[in-house]
Structure 1
Amino acid sequence: MKVIFTQDVRGRGKRGQVKEVPDGYAQNYLIKRGLAKVATKGNMNTLKRVEANEKAAYEAEKAEAEKIKAELEKDDTIVNFKSKAGTDSRLFGSISSKKIVEGLEKQYGIKVDKRKLNLPEPIKTLGYTNVHAKLFKGVEATIRVHVTEQD
């Protein structure tokens, strides 16, 4: 019997896969537990539609990430912060990824999730710092952060 897997089944198939399995196994185990559906013409069309929607959503998200990357990597996109600092250019406090994201949104209107920033430790010195952001699978951008001393 041909079935469409609705969930991953170890050793048998992955979600969305169409496969031939023994009739008893399909009826008594897979279909009964909601792990698969019978591969009828209607179910096959539904599967194709769902796959097309998922692909379109993936492409839209990737295009959005590319757009944000282009915006971030413009020469004039520099996130500026003013902070109190000591004599050795060390900040009193630090600039975290949360502050960088807030600064991006406030200064340029660009929304980025703070978990996408690759900032091993907060910025604690004055000057320019490049912060890498993984926006999407295969789409990475560099955010320039400039910290100046507060008067």
Structure 2
Amino acid sequence: MKVILNTDIKTLGEEGDVKNVADGYFRNFLRPRRLAVPYNAATVAFFESRKAEIEARKEQKRKDSASLKEKLEALHLEITMPAGKNGKLFGAVSAQVVSELLAKHGFEIERKRIEIPGVSIKSVGNYHFNVKLYESQIAQMVVSVKGEEDKSAEGKAADDDKAKKAEAENADENSAGESAETVAAETSESVSQESAQSDGAEA
């Protein structure tokens, strides 16, 4: 059925817009909350009388959106995430991450309004993305993604190096010990042989 919206509805439209909706949606949701009225001669005449007021409100939205666009495009966004030495992130910078980052700067932007090339960012670097504003206005922004090497990975590598070094030292010590034992055994055997020869000569 055809209806006229009484107010702005994010998923449907703005006040005064004419929309086609399912009968059940109007009956169970829109009408009980007075969000819309049936499209007929009386309601059309009523909204026609408010046309200037509605248009003035839309114009104010355009101005507010233009101001927001200017502020967003002047903003320098930077985020640091764990990354490998090759620049690949351990994770990704998604629209939700950017939305949360913008919130820290005082801008509440829904993630569905944020358009990131390739859906998400997976490597360090500077990336352009868009924020959809009122009507066809778009803020073009840049986020600088920096990498932070994974400390746990570095720690594991350091531990592995220490273990290898200790293992090598132990191997050297064992080798030296075995050499000393061999020399001692050979010396003892030589002494025994010399003693035996000496005893034979005396006899």
Q: Structure 1 length normalisation: TM-score?
A: 0.66
Runs of 5+ in structure 1 lacking a partner? 1-5, 9-13, 16-33
Shift of 1:38: 4.8
Counterpart position of 1:25:
none
Counterpart position of 2:55:
55
Counterpart position of 1:30:
none
Counterpart position of 1:72:
72
Secondary structure of residue in 1 paired with 2:83: coil
By relative contact order (CA 8 Å, sep 6+), the higher-ranking structure is 1
Counterpart position of 1:110:
107
Distance 2:84 2:69 in 1: 34
Shift of 1:117: 1.4
**RMSD of Structure 2 on Structure 1 (CA):** 2.5
- Verify: 1:138 aligned to 2:142, yes or no: no
Distance of aligned partners of 1:37 and 1:142 in 2 relative to their CA distance in 1, 3 Å threshold:
same
Distance of aligned partners of 1:55 and 1:89 in 2 relative to their CA distance in 1, 3 Å threshold:
same
Secondary structure of residue in 2 paired with 1:136: coil
| Structure 1 segment 92-103 matched on structure 2, within 5 A | 92-103=90-101
Contact 2:84–2:147 under 8 Å retained in 1: no
The runs of 4+ residues in structure 1 deviating greater than 2 Å are 46-50
Counterpart position of 1:22:
none
Shift of 1:95: 0.7
Q: Structure 2 length normalisation: TM-score?
A: 0.50
Counterpart position of 2:126:
128
Secondary structure of residue in 2 paired with 1:84: strand
Structure (1 or 2) with the greater helix fraction: 2
Distance 2:145 2:47 in 1: 51
Amino acid at match of 1:64: D
Number of aligned residue pairs: give it: 116
Distance 1:145 1:49 in 2: 46
Aligned identity (percent) is 21
Contact 2:128–2:140 under 8 Å retained in 1: yes
Distance of aligned partners of 1:38 and 1:100 in 2 relative to their CA distance in 1, 3 Å threshold:
closer
